[in-house]
Every structure is written in C-alpha cells, then in structure tokens.
C-alpha cells in the first residue's frame, strides 16, 4: 500500500504538470473584441471557472450569476452538525470574485435560450452570451422517496445543502436524549460527495460517544459498497465500538419510504423509528441544467470530457456535480479542477482553436474523528467519451498506520479547505 501511495504521488506531479502546461497556451486572438461568457452558479465550480476565465483572458467579459449573496460550503459542514465548528466558518462572499474582474449578478437564472444564447434572470432581465457555463450543483429529488418532500425535510433533514438544514440536524442531535437512535439514510450512486454520509456517521458517532454514549447510530444504505469503506469500518471499530451499524442494500438497507409524522424509515426488511433521522435522498443536476436542455433522462448532464460542452445544448458547458464526469466523483475538489480545465477550453474555443485533452486530479479527505483523517485520490483523463480513471494513479490511505498518520491527514484536510476556499472566494 505504501508503494501504491508513492506511485500515486509521482503520477500526481506528472498530471499537475500536464494541467500547468495546458494553461500556458498563447493568448487567443478573438475575432470579436471581447466575447461574453456567462457562468451560472457561484459555488466551487462556477466561481472557480469565472475567476479562471478572467485570469486566462482578461479581455473576456465574464458574468457570474449566483442566487445567494453568501455561499455556504458543504465540505466541513459535517463538523458543524457534530458541534465541532461554527457555521460562519463555512460562509463566503463574492467581493473578491468581483475584484478579480468578474461581474457578479445576485440573481436566480430562470431561463436559458440556447439558440438565441441568452439567459433570463428572476428580475426579468436577460443576458446575452457567446458561451455559457453551468455549475448549479444538485437538486434533491423530492419525488424519489415516498413520503419525503420539502415539508418532511423539516422533520427529517437531509442537510445535503449546507445552511439551515445543517443547523436543523445539529439542533436535533443536541436535543436528543442519551440512549436515542440516530438513523442516516444514504442514497444509491451517483450523488454529491460519495464519502459524505460515512464521514457524517463518523462525526455524529464522535458527538454521541463524547456527549450521549448510550446512543446508537444506524446507516441504512441503498448500496452494497461505499467510498473508503474498509478505512471507515476499521475506524468505527476502533473509535466507536458497538455504536455504529451499517446495513447494506442486500441486507435490507434501502429506504423505500419515510413517515415524517413518526420519524420512521421503511425498508423491505422492516421499519426503523429514529429519534433523529437524516434522510439523504437521490439527487439530480440543479434545475437550470434541465431548463437549458443540458440534462438527460438520468437527471445529470452528459458532456464532452475535453471541453465540458453539453451533449444536449450547444455552446453550453457543464461542470461540477451537475455533469456526468465518468469516474470522477462529485466533489468540490473535482468541481474546481473541472472549472479550470473548462475555462481553458472555453477560451481556446472562443479563439477558434482546439482544446487540448486535460488531466484532472481529485482528492477527497474525510474525518472519522476530528483528529483522524483518511483520503482517496485519483487522476482522470478523457477516454471513450468520459473522464476515466488513469490506471495505477491515485489510491486510498494505507490501512495499517499509526494514529499520528491519521492526525496528519486530518490536518491536510483542514489545509485543503483553507486553500481551496481562498482560491475560489478569497
């Protein structure tokens, strides 16, 4: 395993160099003096892309359309739920994005006309574009789980978009008596942040162990395997013996329906009534992707893996959670990497060139406890129309290492969050 990690680091350096090379192309000569690019969604993908576009080609007119004044980041929001972090540390504004030369419109985009190349905003105004980038993140599918709608989410929070829902789940845990049952319902793939439900289970278990040690945590899962599974399961045995139980799909873990009135989760194998129920429902690309004609029948957006251009809507590019990125997981790290590659491709296309094939990197850190970090890393490149795993690159944290190794990975996770949020919003 140690050797596998050494190989991965070499490959990362190589891949990193490839990305760096991709950003050193000669500046384009535009036919038109300053083409307009509109970016919808000011999260990890969209805000990164808007800034990169301006950085690569300052002559571009770049407009970022984001519905909220303040972005609330999901990474580290599990710490907020476990009472380990203030929500304020998750909040970011757009002042620095504007200082970087991007025009920020605090508006919801409500319409896209891919033929006329216009975006309609909630205030009735319309923006013309030469190329459009969508990074709207996910919408929760309130039609996918019987009994789980927006009203039910006020009782059984998903907390899969950070903000009020995060705080609701935190307050419910705080109000729960010692000896209560917490249930997390985890969805089938694909969904935002594959290791997220298991990091959440770990940090809630940490909270229970330290504050309500007679309580139990049950994970009802719609799948038979999950990201960093052995690492998580070993950590649960070591840190929270007897407290965390994972029920896989084949053991009857899939939640088919919920009853919010009684906090009950219903599976084929029986019902579970929870004191605190965290229901993470299936998801799809943010609604504007469907409006733009970029989402397919899966609810996600098929793209060209070199340019991120939508297969359904010409001149529209989709990045981040909303796109079908093959082997690349739906993470903030991925969204940021895709944003930079997409920005380069958009500038090249606007100047009449052919974008180079990118190499992209993702690393997902998770915390099994505040001082216990684990990670999975990968390198991805276009292959057969998708972003495929580069074989032999990447890997997961080693299984048998002393605790100080885990403590260092927990510190890397903190540094990663500080670095990416400074790059995107700072």
Ligand X SMILES: Cc1cc2nc3c(=O)[nH]c(=O)nc-3n(C[C@H](O)[C@H](O)[C@H](O)COP(=O)(O)OP(=O)(O)OC[C@H]3O[C@@H](n4cnc5c(N)ncnc54)[C@H](O)[C@@H]3O)c2cc1C
Q: Per the structure block, which two tokens stand in for 415?
A: 């540094």
| Site for ligand X contains 189 (CB under 6 A) | no
At closest approach, how far in Å is the CB of 28 from ligand X? 25
At closest approach, how far in Å is the CB of 389 from ligand X? 17
Site for ligand X in 150-169 (CB under 6 A): 160
Nearer to ligand X, 28 or 292 (CB): 292
| Site for ligand X contains 68 (CB under 6 A) | yes
The bridge status of strand 255-259 relative to strand 138-140 is unpaired
Residues 6+ apart with CB under 8 A from 205: 217, 236, 239, 240, 243, 244
| Site for ligand X contains 42 (CB under 6 A) | yes
Nearer to ligand X, 134 or 255 (CB): 134
| Site for ligand X contains 79 (CB under 6 A) | no
| Site for ligand X contains 221 (CB under 6 A) | no
| Site for ligand X contains 196 (CB under 6 A) | yes
| Site for ligand X contains 135 (CB under 6 A) | yes
Nearer to ligand X, 66 or 309 (CB): 66
At closest approach, how far in Å is the CB of 149 from ligand X? 19
How far apart (Å, rounded) are the C-alpha atoms in residues 54 and 50? 6
Contact by Cβ (8 Å): 233, 212:
no
Contact by Cβ (8 Å): 50, 71:
no
At closest approach, how far in Å is the CB of 410 from ligand X? 12
Indicate the residue whose CB is closest to ligand X: 43
How far apart (Å, rounded) are the C-alpha atoms in residues 364 and 75? 10
Contact by Cβ (8 Å): 172, 339:
no
Residue with tokens 């162990």: 209
Kindly tell me which residue out of 28, 57, 60, 66 binds ligand X, with binding defined by CB under 6 A: 66
Contact by Cβ (8 Å): 291, 112:
yes
At closest approach, how far in Å is the CB of 426 from ligand X? 16
Count of residues in contact with ligand X, rule CB under 6 A: 37
284 backbone dihedrals φ, ψ, rounded to 5°? -150, 175
Contact by Cβ (8 Å): 240, 209:
yes
| Site for ligand X contains 425 (CB under 6 A) | no
Kindly tell me which residue out of 108, 144, 356, 401 binds ligand X, with binding defined by CB under 6 A: 108
Query: Which of these, 292, 286, 290, lies nearest to 129 by C-alpha position?
Result: 292
At closest approach, how far in Å is the CB of 362 from ligand X? 7
| Site for ligand X contains 129 (CB under 6 A) | no
Kindly tell me which residue out of 62, 182, 205, 288 binds ligand X, with binding defined by CB under 6 A: 288
- Three-state SS at 55: helix
| Site for ligand X contains 67 (CB under 6 A) | yes
Question: Taking the alpha carbons of 46, 52, 58, 59 in that order, is the dihedral positive or negative?
Answer: negative
Kindly tell me which residue out of 39, 62, 74, 258 binds ligand X, with binding defined by CB under 6 A: 74
| Site for ligand X contains 207 (CB under 6 A) | no
Query: Which of these, 255, 283, 282, lies nearest to 271 by C-alpha position?
Result: 255
Nearer to ligand X, 266 or 311 (CB): 311
Query: Which of these, 281, 219, 277, 216, lies nearest to 247 by C-alpha position?
Result: 219
Kindly tell me which residue out of 61, 78, 215, 307 binds ligand X, with binding defined by CB under 6 A: 78
Contact stretch for ligand X (CB under 6 A) within 34-42, 172-180, 353-361, 399-407: 34-42
| Site for ligand X contains 259 (CB under 6 A) | no
| Site for ligand X contains 282 (CB under 6 A) | no
Kindly tell me which residue out of 36, 54, 131, 192 binds ligand X, with binding defined by CB under 6 A: 192
Nearer to ligand X, 110 or 264 (CB): 110
| Site for ligand X contains 364 (CB under 6 A) | yes
How far apart (Å, rounded) are the C-alpha atoms in residues 72 and 237? 32
| Site for ligand X contains 71 (CB under 6 A) | yes
Contact by Cβ (8 Å): 328, 322:
no
Residue with tokens 């719609």: 222
Contact stretch for ligand X (CB under 6 A) within 67-75, 181-189, 206-214, 295-303: 67-75
| Residues linked to residue 72 through DSSP beta bridges, in sequence order | 91
Contact by Cβ (8 Å): 305, 334:
no
What is the gyration radius of the CA atoms in the chain, in angstroms? 22
CA atoms within 13 A on the CB side of 277: 25
Site for ligand X in 305-344 (CB under 6 A): 320-322, 330-333, 335
**Interface residues with ligand X (CB under 6 A)?**
40-46, 65-68, 71, 74-75, 77-78, 108-109, 135-137, 160, 192-193, 196, 286, 288, 320-322, 330-333, 335, 364-365
């Amino acid at each position: 395993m140690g050797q596998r990690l050494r190989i991965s680091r070499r490959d990362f350096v190589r891949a990193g160099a490839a990305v760096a090379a991709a950003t050193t192309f000669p500046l384009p000569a535009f036919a038109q003096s300053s083409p307009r690019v509109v970016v919808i969604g000011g999260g990890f993908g969209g805000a990164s892309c808007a800034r990169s576009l301006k950085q690569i080609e300052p002559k571009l007119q770049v407009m970022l359309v984001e519905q909220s004044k303040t972005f609330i980041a999901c990474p580290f929001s599990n710490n907020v739920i476990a009472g380990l972090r203030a929500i304020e540390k998750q909040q970011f504004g757009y002042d620095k994005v504007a200082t970087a030369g991007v025009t920020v419109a605090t508006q919801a985009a409500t319409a896209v006309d891919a033929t006329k190349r216009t975006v309609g905003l909630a205030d009735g105004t319309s923006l013309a574009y030469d190329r459009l980038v969508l990074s709207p993140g996910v919408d929760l599918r309130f039609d996918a789980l019987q009994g789980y709608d927006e009203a039910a989410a006020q009782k059984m929070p998903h907390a899969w978009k950070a903000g009020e829902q995060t705080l609701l789940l935190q307050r419910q845990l705080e109000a729960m008596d010692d000896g209560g049952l917490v249930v997390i319902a985890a969805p089938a793939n694909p969904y935002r942040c594959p290791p997220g439900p298991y990091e959440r289970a770990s940090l809630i278990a940490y909270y229970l162990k330290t504050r309500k040690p007679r309580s139990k945590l049950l994970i009802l899962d719609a799948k038979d395997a999950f990201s960093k599974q052995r690492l998580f399961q070993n950590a649960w045995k070591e840190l929270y013996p007897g407290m965390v139980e994972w029920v896989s799909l084949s053991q009857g873990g899939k939640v088919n329906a919920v009853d919010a009135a009684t906090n009950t989760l219903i599976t084929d194998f029986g019902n579970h009534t929870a004191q605190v129920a965290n229901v993470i429902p299936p998801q799809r690309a943010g609604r504007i992707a469907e409006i733009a004609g970029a989402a397919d029948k899966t609810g996600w957006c098929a793209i060209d893996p070199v340019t991120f251009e939508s297969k359904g809507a010409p001149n529209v590019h989709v990045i981040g959670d909303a796109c079908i990125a093959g082997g690349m997981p739906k993470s903030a790290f991925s969204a940021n990497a895709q944003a930079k590659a997409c920005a380069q491709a958009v500038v090249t296309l606007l100047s009449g060139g052919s974008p180079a094939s990118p190499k992209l990197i993702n690393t997902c850190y998770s915390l099994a406890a505040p001082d216990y970090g684990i990670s999975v890393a990968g390198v991805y490149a276009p292959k057969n129309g998708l972003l495929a795993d580069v074989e032999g690159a990447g890997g997961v944290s080693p299984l048998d290492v002393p605790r100080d190794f885990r403590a260092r990975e927990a510190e890397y996770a903190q540094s990663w969050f500080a670095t990416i949020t400074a790059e995107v919003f700072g």
